[in-house]
């Protein structure tokens, strides 16, 4: 017998909703499409979140909030600004939870940039040169070395760019996917504007600012 919405139990919907934070009807539809398979439903919801996020990426985010997170007995502190489209969404528990989670993640993972696009040309060139030299010294042909470098650069982005990092509370998703899920749920574009991370004893601090993409009000 085929799985229909009527065959999906409330317990299944609740479990998927607790796992993803997606709206109830979206969870029902995803479970139906996945024939009751929870993991497949999670993947479907993440894909939908990414799709919704891509469609809203050009919308202006001029509201939001700044949140702090202090860890390790006051030894590490983070300030992060996350933007959305309206003050209404900025005041929701879902948005506040997202900003808190991002601040906590930055505290633990110490990213240096917000996005891949924010990596400086100097840092990019330095890392690429190191990886290329390593590949050549290992005796790899030039074409193979270039492919190895491309893979290592993606790993480099994952290490230093906030949006590319696996979320500390759920390593199966990145911060970008975490944000995309909230965009899908709240219906507004959401973006990380900047953050600063301070650690007692460190010389200097990590400060990352991303210039906003060209945005415009929807419909223009």
Domains of the chain with CATH codes: 5-56 (1.10.8.10), 63-116+161-209 (3.30.479.20), 120-157 (1.10.286)
pTM for this one?
0.76
Q: What residues contact 32, with CB distance under 8 A and at least 6 apart? A: 3, 4, 5, 7, 8
Angle (CA) 154-155-161 rounded to 5° is 80
pLDDT over threshold 90, residue 41: no
Residue by residue, DSSP assigns 188-213 as S--EEEEEEEEETT-SS-EEEE-PPP
Q: Cα separation of 195 and 213, whole Å?
A: 17
In this predicted model, what pLDDT tens digit does every residue of 184-207 receive, in sequence order?
Answer: 888 899 999 999 999 998 877 899
Look at residue 4 in the predicted model and tell me its pLDDT: 54
Buried residues in 83-95 as b, exposed as e (16+ CB within 10 A): bbbbeebbebeeb
- What average pLDDT score do residues 133-162 get? 87
- What average pLDDT score do residues 94-117 get? 96
Indicate the average pLDDT of the chain: 86
More confident residue, 148 or 64: 64
Look at residue 191 in the predicted model and tell me its pLDDT: 95
Look at residue 64 in the predicted model and tell me its pLDDT: 96
More confident residue, 78 or 6: 78
Look at residue 179 in the predicted model and tell me its pLDDT: 94
The dihedral over CA atoms of 72, 168, 22, 78, expressed in degrees to the nearest 10, equals 40
- Number of Cβ within 10 Å of residue 42's Cβ equals 20
- What average pLDDT score do residues 165-172 get? 93
| 8: confidence class by pLDDT, cuts 50, 70, 90 | confident
Choice among 23-37, 41-55, 115-129, 198-212 with the minimum mean pLDDT = 41-55
Q: Cα separation of 136 and 147, whole Å?
A: 12
């Amino acid at each position: 017998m085929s799985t229909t919405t009527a065959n999906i139990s409330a317990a299944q919907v609740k479990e998927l909703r607790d796992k993803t934070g997606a709206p109830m009807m979206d969870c029902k539809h995803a479970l139906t499409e996945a024939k009751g398979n929870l993991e497949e439903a999670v993947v479907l919801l993440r894909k939908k979140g990414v799709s919704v996020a891509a469609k809203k990426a050009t919308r202006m985010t001029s509201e939001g909030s700044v949140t702090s997170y202090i860890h390790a007995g006051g030894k590490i502190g983070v300030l992060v600004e996350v933007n959305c489209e309206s003050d209404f969404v900025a005041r929701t528990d879902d948005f506040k939870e997202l900003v808190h989670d991002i601040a906590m993640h930055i505290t633990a993972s110490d990213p240096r940039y917000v996005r891949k696009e924010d990596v400086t040309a100097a840092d990019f060139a330095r890392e690429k040169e190191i990886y290329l030299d390593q590949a050549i010294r290992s005796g790899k042909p030039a074409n193979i070395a270039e492919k190895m470098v491309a893979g290592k650069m993606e790993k480099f982005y994952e290490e230093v760019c906030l949006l590319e990092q696996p979320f500390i509370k759920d390593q199966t998703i990145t911060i970008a996917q975490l944000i995309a899920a909230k965009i899908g749920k709240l219906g507004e574009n959401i973006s990380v504007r900047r953050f600063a991370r301070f650690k007692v004893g460190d010389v200097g601090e990590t400060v990352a600012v991303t210039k906003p993409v060209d945005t415009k009000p929807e419909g223009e």
